[in-house]
Amino acid sequence: TDLTDEDAVRVDYLDTDGQGIETQIGDQVDAPTHSGIVSFDDSNYKVADTVTVTLNDADLNTNSDTTEVYTIRAGTNDGNKIYDRVGLVDITISNSSAYGRLLDITFDDAAWSSYTCDLDNNVNTPATVDGLSTTGFTLRETNSTSGIFVGTFQIPQNYCTGDNTVSTTTGKDLEVNYVDYSDASGELIEVGDSAGISANTGSVSFGRSVYPVPFDPSQYPTQNTPHTIASTDSSISGDTVLHIRVNDPDYDISGSGPDTLPASKVTVKLVRGSQTSHNLAISDAPIEEISPISGIFELDLALGHTFTCDNTGLAENNPNRCTFTDTPYRIQQGDIVTVEYTDDTDASGNLNTVTDSATFDLRNAVLRTDKAAYIIGGDMILTLIEPDFDLDSDETESYPLDLIEWDSDADILAMGQSENFDPEPSALRETGDSTGIFQVVIEVPSVLTGSALDRGEQIDLEYVDHGPAGADYIGTDDEDIELTVFTSDFGAIISLDKKVYSWTDKVFITITAPDHNFDSDLIDEIGDTRDDPIKVSTRENSIDYYRLVETGTDTGVFTGEVILTGFQHDADGEPGDTDAPITTTESSRNNIAGPTNGYLQAEDVDGLTVSFEFSEDDTVIGSAIIRWNIGEIDWAEASYPASGNGLVRIVDPDLNLNPESVDNFDVDVWSDSDPGGISLTVTETNEATGVFEGQVSFTTTDESSGHRLRVAEGDTITAEYEDHTLPDPYDTSDDLDVLSTAIIGSIVAPLERAPVSNARIVDTQEQTLSSVSVDQQILVSADLKSGQDKDQDYAYLVQIQDADGVTVLLSWITGTLPAGSASSPSQSWTPTAGGDYTATVFVWESITNPTALSPSDKVTIQVS
């Protein structure tokens, strides 16, 4: 009942206040009813689909503290009309309607209930068809206050109609009915929703539109006569596998796990013109679903190269009779294979038959390699493109390597017959499912059956295609598929890091020899065997087998180093020693293999040769000369302050006596103030640079000691060493003094020692004059500025000439300009006649030494 307005729930209270006066206090609250809504989650279903029913009616939320559940009343058709429905039992109203009925499910308005039906329409044994209660259907509130209830069930395949007949649910209307005993207006009303139950139109398809012709592997010869594919690999059947898929969701009826389709629904036949075969897919085994709920069923049918055509026991009008007259009964190029699927109930509810077809075909093979030339010992990727071998599109297949013949000067053989090929994998392996491309990686051998392969040798590879395009089937024709490659004959290149070496240098050797990159995954080596000797030699000494190592995987570039050890000689002039590292006992090092521990004695005038025999009778050579050098010595700067530091630098590669360590030796350094000087140790800047440096500290107060040298302002400092390693025309007993000098103090350009500027005319008060009168005493003045860090004696000269160039005045003064100071000297002149005059200012070292300390400066004088 709707409790609103005057029917609302009300509470009244008579209150007596402190004055004894009674007042009635009350309040009320509406308790309305609500209209319910019920719905399905979809508008169309098929057998075995899960249906979700949603009921929204707040009136059913009778207790907001609990989640409420409404259940099915189980039973059979015994006269009580709420069995297999949601509701209460044995409550009716005056018109005999089921007063307890809350919700039910119907098919074409027939209640889904557990009636007893005859499964074959009242002819034979009766049986019970399950009703809604057997599904476990319940209406469960989504939460304790929602008033929304949800339940699920699965569409059955059959149901029992009201006249005790079993009927399929396909093609029927599905209804849900809800009895709302009090809607928003307080009235009893029945609401509902409906959906259709329909079937799907099935389809059938082959996995491919073209299939290879199946063959007999026992009749397919390899290059290893008399063996065949079958005798080489018994796992190869030669059968073509047809992958047939039926897509019909109507058979996806299980709620869990894959379903099956009767094999009798599928018929496969071979067609050649008007001739047809028996059903090639006869089987008692059902066809399985590829995955749960997919509705897709797959049949894998392997067809051999032959088939039977026996009609014994088959009537003339039997559609499964074989009508082939061509013999032998074998599958040929151009044959058509058909598949037929019988769909008992399509989308329109009728029986329907769907088909698909494919053809059998033979294709031409192709033989390929990844390169045209190969390094002996390197890898070859051999590819056979043979669509006729792609018999199963769901599998990666393999075929024996004996199908390919190797023909070179070294040997002729089937490639599976020699372990020297080291194949990976051991057979021609398909690159993936249904590619028809088969590959193997082999090593190009250095030897076959005892015969060595030569560089530049021709290799003919051959595959015989026994089923080329146009043949009826494999074995009726063949075609030779040939390919020619070569072993590489690149040669080699030797590079040395210098054209000229000194007697104790380190020699870096680089040989580019791609043909010796035998393994692209490993670092290869060359030179230390009789097959590929590397010889490093001077004119009197040699290393006969020297090993070089590849710079990285798959580079074909090999490197190594050899140290020249010189000979016994005093290189730095120190008495009683010899400086080259070689000794008599160390000469045995020449037998060491390399690549970084080779030592080779060299003379002051010598030659270096590296030879590499990269193939039989083929040798490449690299060479350089060995000679001594005249050293160079320099001060890093032309001048140094008296309290500073100086750097001596010597460049002499001959004194790099050990290229794997930093060398040093002593040089003489002296000054004008201390001619005895010091012995300065100069040290190589790094290993094998041949550049040596030493630092000198200058002092004006202390005595020379260690690396400290006494100097005075203006001193010349000298560094000197004796070079005992001189080139032609000198000999080993000669030496040469090599020296360099620098200055203590600033070195200033001659004309910048006391530069003059701003020549001008002033009066005796040093005020600048703009005009001059006859008999007026004036001064010719200019500014001097010291450009040095020492005092400078000077002579300031003024020459005045008239307009005809006649000198009317030549006068001077001398003085000393202190270091870093400035001065403004002047000379007096009194003109005796008017006219235009030019005054030129000179600054010399002295009157007797007219060496200019500055460029001259001029000023014009107008006398009136």
Burial class of residue 225 in the structure, from the number of CB atoms within 10 Å of its CB (0-12 exposed, 13-18 middle, 19+ buried)? exposed
CA dist., res. 624 & res. 753, Å (int): 52
Sign of CA dihedral 761, 767, 772, 778: negative
Q: H/E element holding 230?
A: helix 229-232
Q: Which residues contact 273 (CB under 8 A, 6 or more apart)?
A: none
Closest CA to 208 of 81, 328, 53, 359: 359
pLDDT at 587 over 60: no
How many Cα atoms sit within 13 Å of 86 on the Cβ side? 25
CA dist., res. 483 & res. 354, Å (int): 47
CA 54 to chain centre: 54
What mean pLDDT is predicted for residues 402-416? 95
Residue 513 token pair: 């020899």
Q: H/E element holding 229?
A: helix 229-232
User: Would you say 558 and 635 are in contact if contact means Cβ atoms under 8 Å apart?
Assistant: no
What angle is formed at CA 411 by the lines to CA 406 and CA 416, rounded to 5 degrees? 45
Inter-CA distances, 155 with 104, 107, 175, 192, 800, Å: 14, 10, 12, 18, 132
Tens digit of each residue's pLDDT (9 = 90 or more) over 46-83: 888 899 999 999 999 989 899 999 988 765 444 456 67
Q: What is the per-residue DSSP string for 20-56?
A: S-EEEEEEEE-B-----EEEES-SEE-TT-EEEEEEE
More confident residue, 40 or 789: 40
Residue 232 DSSP code: H
Residue 231 DSSP code: H
Residue 187 token pair: 């009235």
Sign of CA dihedral 685, 688, 689, 690: positive
pLDDT at 547: 95
CA dist., res. 369 & res. 380, Å (int): 7
What angle is formed at CA 840 by the lines to CA 837 and CA 844, rounded to 5 degrees? 160
In sequence order, what are the beta bridge partners of 111? 106
CB atoms within 10 A of CB 778: 21
In sequence order, what are the beta bridge partners of 722? 737
User: Would you say 809 and 799 are in contact if contact means Cβ atoms under 8 Å apart?
Assistant: yes
Residue at token pair 């360590």: 661
SS3 590: helix
pLDDT class of 1 with cuts at 50, 70, 90: low
Tens digit of each residue's pLDDT (9 = 90 or more) over 418-467: 999 999 999 999 999 999 999 999 999 989 988 988 888 999 999 999 99
CA dist., res. 850 & res. 796, Å (int): 11
Lowest pLDDT segment from 112-126, 310-324, 484-498, 673-687: 112-126
Q: What is the pTM of this model?
A: 0.61
Tens digit of each residue's pLDDT (9 = 90 or more) over 342-364: 998 888 878 999 999 999 999 99
Q: Are strands 598-600 and 557-564 parallel, antiparallel or unpaired?
A: parallel
CA dist., res. 509 & res. 608, Å (int): 11
Residue 31 token pair: 């308790």
What angle is formed at CA 245 by the lines to CA 244 and CA 249, rounded to 5 degrees? 160
Residue 365 DSSP code: -
pLDDT at 802: 93
User: Dihedral through CA 747, CA 748, CA 750, CA 756, nearest 10?
Assistant: -150
Q: H/E element holding 287?
A: strand 287-289
Tens digit of each residue's pLDDT (9 = 90 or more) over 180-234: 988 888 888 999 999 999 989 999 999 999 999 999 999 999 999 899 999 999 9
Residue 453 DSSP code: P
Residue 745 token pair: 């103090």
- Segments in 262-388 forming alpha helices (H): none
Which amino acid belongs to residue 511? I
CA dist., res. 737 & res. 720, Å (int): 7
Which amino acid belongs to residue 35? S
